[in-house]
Amino acid sequence: MDAVYFSPILIVALLVLLASGIWIAIALAGVAIIAMLLVDAPIDLVMPSSIWSSVSSWSLTALPLFIWMGEILFRTRLADDLFHGLAPWVQRLPGRLLHVNVIGCGIFAAVSGSSAATAATVGKMSLPELKRRGYEEKISVGSLAASGTLGLLIPPSIILIVYGVSANVSIARLFLAGVLPGLMIVAMFMAYIAIWSLINKDRMPKAEQGLSFWEKVRRVRLLLPTVLLIVAVIGSIYTGIATATEAATLGVVGSLLIALFSGSLTWENFKLSLYGATRTSCMIGFIIATAAFLSVAMGYAGIPRALASWIGAMGLSAYELIFALAILYLILGCFLDGISMVVLTTAIIMPMVQAAQIDLIWFGIFIVIVVEIAQLTPPVGFNLFVVQGLTGHDILFVARSVLPFFLLLCASIVILTIFPEIATWLPQTMFSAG
């Protein structure tokens, strides 16, 4: 049977299995087995080898370590320190304490790598404080939900590690490529908050009495542990002193020390962080393994080659292909989480991307930003659920609140496409210098 006939059968099978509510990894494995049966391929030989090769990669060992680092920090007083350390320095900016959501999420993203953990950790401290001080809840909720997605982009990013392993791309280069786009999105969010506050002065609370300069400096010490951890983890990768895995190990040790010296490291917290990291790592590893099996099965069925030929026959330019893939990922984001989207599609779309001569490092950042947008699209918008749990509002209120930031993320994709150097300049410069 030709690959043209396989594709609809496998797509329908995947949709049926996902709709049944079973685990995503099981659904992927089920579709892979169906594909292997259709072409009469040796499942007993292909399945073990493909699964083992996908999860035995040394690069993948950074994943559970970065997750554990985020879990440890999630259970410390980091969020409190972030708020009280940043708050005095943004009081004079238009929008004042609303910027703490954006900057706080940007900082925590640099030591977490998880979108949900970033939104939950910063939100637990910032939302009650903003509400108590009279800030409008809609802009507070929207800025938090959107800024939480920075955990996917600002390194160390879990999803960049997954993409790097799936696409066989340097994780260190991907981490470098995520820095400037991440800062660009932070600046866009802060600019929107400033403009909104200037237009809606009547909806802003009265300015509080400012602290003295030396009091502001004294509060900076609350940020020092986090800043030092960021410098140690990211700096060791960028300077070539450590690999991503070695830097992740350094991050775990550093986060344990922060928790210990802040007085919030207890045996119970330690166990909870370890259990949480184990559950998340196993879930991601299971998805990666079954997605690799599905990729091999589709290779046997000739589907990637047929799709690449089909796209090639359409004569799409690189920009048209990027636009089509953006729409595809936004649709997938309504039903799948980000990691599942990446591992499920990477093997299929890589031949098309390479045929269009699109830089794979740039494309990794493009995928992550599209996945960030997917985190804000119902019905499966993970960050919407996280913020809904923090506020108690219904999902529609949270979705409406985040809409302006959703549009800003869409604009960032356009900017990144027009100016790809935003993602490619830093890795090219650092590695050519090295």
pLDDT digits (tens, 9 = 90+) for 387-424: 887 787 877 888 899 999 999 999 999 999 999 999 99
For residue 4, pLDDT over 60 is answered with: no
Closest CA to 180 of 434, 431, 420, 382: 420
For residue 252, pLDDT over 70 is answered with: yes
pLDDT at position 115: 74
Indicate if the alpha-carbon torsion angle 239, 242, 245, 250 is positive or negative.
Answer: negative
Q: How many CB atoms lie within 10 A of CB 328?
A: 14
For residue 257, pLDDT over 80 is answered with: yes
- What's the rounded Cα separation, in Å, for the pair 277 and 274? 5
pLDDT at position 126: 79
Give how many domains the chain has, as a whole number: 1
Name which residue leads in pLDDT, 264 or 169: 169
pLDDT at position 202: 84
- What's the rounded Cα separation, in Å, for the pair 95 and 168? 42
Report the percentage of the chain scoring pLDDT > 90.
14
What range does the domain containing 390 cover?
Answer: 3-433
Residue 168 gets which letter from DSSP?
Answer: T
- What's the rounded Cα separation, in Å, for the pair 27 and 17? 5
Highest mean pLDDT of the ranges 197-211, 220-234, 317-331 = 317-331
pLDDT at position 65: 83
Q: Rounded mean pLDDT of the chain?
A: 80
- What's the rounded Cα separation, in Å, for the pair 118 and 126? 12
Residues with Cβ < 8 Å from 47, sequence gap 6 or more?
A: 32, 33, 36, 293
Name which residue leads in pLDDT, 168 or 112: 168
Residues with Cβ < 8 Å from 366, sequence gap 6 or more?
A: 322, 326, 413, 416, 417, 423
Helix, strand, coil percentages in the chain from 3-state DSSP, rounded to 5: 80, 0, 20
- What's the rounded Cα separation, in Å, for the pair 113 and 72? 12
Which amino acid is it at 29?
Answer: A
How many residues would you count in the chain?
434
Closest CA to 108 of 80, 133, 141: 80
pLDDT at position 187: 94
The whole-number average pLDDT for the span 116-134 is 78
Query: Phi, psi at residue 143, to the nearest 5°?
Result: -65, -35
Cα distances from 428 to residues 173, 177, 361, 362, in angstroms, run 8, 9, 10, 11
Q: What angle do CA 4, 6, 10 make, to 5 degrees?
A: 135
pLDDT at position 221: 77
pLDDT (tens digit, 9 = 90+) per residue, 18-67? Answer: 677 777 778 878 888 888 887 777 887 778 887 787 777 676 777 788 77
pTM of the model: 0.76
Tell me the DSSP string of 319-343.
HHHHHHHHHHHHHHTTTS-HHHHHH
